[in-house]
Every structure is written in structure tokens, then in C-alpha cells.
Amino acid sequence: MEESSANAQHEPRESGITRRIFLGTTLGGGAAILAGGSSVIFSTASNAATNAGADSMFKLGGDLSVNRLGFGAMRITGEGIWGWPPDRDEARKVLRRAVELGVNLIDTADAYGPETSELLIAEALHPYPKGLVIATKGGFTRPGPGQWVANGRPEYLTQCVEKSLKRLRLERIDLYQLHRVDPNVPMEESLGAIKKMQEAGKIRHVGLSELGPEEIARARKVLPIVSVQNQYNVSYRKWDNALAYCEKEGLGFMPWSPVGGGRSLKSGALETAAKNHGASVYQLAIAWLLARSPVMLPIPGTSSVAHLEENVAAGKLQLTPAELEALNGAG
């Protein structure tokens, strides 16, 4: 799944990786997580530089405390990110289980389904538990399965915010992200509409998606920005510059496609590290992201409870300095 250009065609693919090696602690860890709350997932260790879970909390906008390992709710829709998922009950279970496991940052968008991802979140989780941050987005229209067309016109975005509020049954959206800058609309105009909604109390914080440092700085002249959501994973490093900018400025960086977006993450270093830990490459990909930067907020997506549990358990993995170095060089 890519939304890398404003008018991209998309087709999620099956991953070529079929290996299913769970952390030895996955099931026990799940029980411990349930018993001990989110702090158990992100146990600290003496070597903070290599512990994926260290410094596991991040304050979005300085006031919203989130566990750095979040959940992406794009995959709980139908094929081509279109319509309802084949197993709607499983989708609701995935959402509830994520929260049970201590995840308190859920990323979605009006374009996922469209609408169905936001509707399922409300169905499964409303009334929302205290501290749950739902981050949604607007700015993409969906002419059909796998098709995404940017629309950043101010009047359209205003209407998007109102509709997301209704679907999510919220009075205020904690994090509203401009899904794409529309090439036909100056970003200042799009963000101006979002700023008005923020001033009206309908949005708490604002984030961006798929932009580099210069554009992020330009957006910040219009309104405060707390996060940036760009494609990033162990094999895809185009946005290292945006990550560095976010680190310097204290913005959250939410990598999308953190486990490859349904494509195989081909890396010898990843395979080797996975073997060393008796874990899956998905888990290592997540552990590397968490270790890569304290502002990194991965949002791996899945339609399956088993994959969700596997992914959340990755927060406990501790990489050795040698593994970290090998994975840093694997991009």
C-alpha cells in the first residue's frame, strides 16, 4: 500500500515472508501485559541505546502521552482499502485487543474504506477508555478500490473534519493529520481550514503526512505541527531527513509501512537478527524502528489478532549494538 503520490493507484500485496517465529515470550508476554498494563510491554533495560522499549512513552504536542508503539487501522477494511473487511468481528477484536495490550495511539483516516475504519473504531471502542488517542486524517478522496486522489480544498477539509467527528463519536479529534498536500491547492490554504477547526475546538493537535523538512517548516508558519507521518522502514529510508528534523524539533514521527506494507522486507541483517532472537522479521522491523529514534511512533497495521499480538510483543525485544549497527546499514 502506498500513498506516496497525490494521485497514486494502490494495490496491497501479500508479503513474501511466510515464516512465523514468535518471540518465546509472546503468549506469556501477552498475559503479563494484560495483568500489568502498558508499562509491562515496554520494560526498561540497562542498555537504553539498544532497548526498543526504553523511553517508550512520547508526549504528542507536549500533552498527549502515548506508548510509542501504536496501531494503524487501515488494514481493518476490505480489499484495496475499500469497504468493510471480510471478517468484521475479527476487525473489532483486533481493535479491542490492541487497547487491552496497552496500545493507546490508533491511526486511521476518513479515506480508509472510506469511512469504514473510523466507523469500526467507534463500534469497537466507544465509549473510549481514558488516554486513548485516535489520530485521523483528511485530504484524500476515494474514487474506487486502490485509488486515492488528493483534495485539499478548504471547504472540503472543513467538511471532512465534521464528518470524522461524527463517525468517531468525538467532540474533539486529538490528532488531525493532513493526509496529503494537494498539488492543486497551496498548503497554506488547506492548513488554514484545519487551523480554523482547531480554533473552533474541534481539533486538539495537527499533523502532516509525506513531507520533507522544508515543507514541514513551511506548514509550521501556518499553525503548530506536532507530528509527521511518512513512509519509513528498515528497507525504505527516503525520509531520514524528515526524521532528523522531527528529532531536532521534538515532533512525533509516525512511520507508515513500518513492516513493509504487505511487501517482503528483504534484508539479510533483518533475517539474521530475527534468527538470533527466535523472532519474526516483522518483530525485528518494529524493534529496530523503536530503537532508531526516541520520536519514532510506529503504527504497524494488521487485520489479525495473532499478528497484532506478535507485533506488540516486539516492544520487548532488545537489540545488541551489533544488530543495531547492521540494521542501520540495511536501508
CA distance 194 to 222: 10
Question: How many residues contact ligand NAP, by CB under 6 A?
Answer: 30
Residue with cell 522544508: 214
Binding span for ligand NAP by CB under 6 A among 159-167, 267-275, 305-313, 321-329: 305-313
* Beta carbon of residue 85, minimum distance to ligand NAP (angstroms, whole number): 9
Q: Which residue in 3, 187, 198, 202 sits closest to 109, CA to CA?
A: 3
Binding span for ligand NAP by CB under 6 A among 36-44, 68-76, 271-279, 320-328: 68-76
282 touches ligand NAP by CB under 6 A? yes
124's torsion region: left (phi>0), alpha (psi -120 to 50) or beta? Answer: alpha
73 touches ligand NAP by CB under 6 A? yes
Q: Which residue in 103, 169, 115 sits closest to 140, CA to CA?
A: 115
Q: Which of 80, 83, 262, 331 binds ligand NAP (CB under 6 A)?
A: 262
102 touches ligand NAP by CB under 6 A? no
Binding to ligand NAP in span 207-226, by CB under 6 A: 209-210
- Which run of H or E residues covers position 209? strand 203-209
CA distance 92 to 94: 5
Is 236 among the residues known to form the active site? Answer: no
108 or 199: CB nearest ligand NAP: 108
Q: Which of 256, 269, 273, 289 binds ligand NAP (CB under 6 A)?
A: 256
Tell me how far CA of residue 22 lies from CA of 222, 267, 278, 309, 314, in angstroms: 46, 19, 7, 10, 9
Which residue among the candidates 112, 232, 245, 282 is catalytic per the annotation?
A: 112
**Beta-sheet pairing, 71-72 with 140-141:** unpaired
Binding to ligand NAP in span 10-49, by CB under 6 A: 12, 15
Which residue lies nearest ligand NAP, judged by its C-beta?
72
Helix axes 154-168, 187-199, angle to 10 degrees: 40
What phi, psi does 150 have (nearest 5°)? -70, 140
304 touches ligand NAP by CB under 6 A? yes
287 touches ligand NAP by CB under 6 A? no
- Catalytic residue positions? 112
| Residues at the site binding ligand NAP, with contacts judged by CB under 6 A | 1, 3, 12, 15, 72-75, 107, 209-210, 229, 256-262, 280, 282, 299-304, 307, 310-311
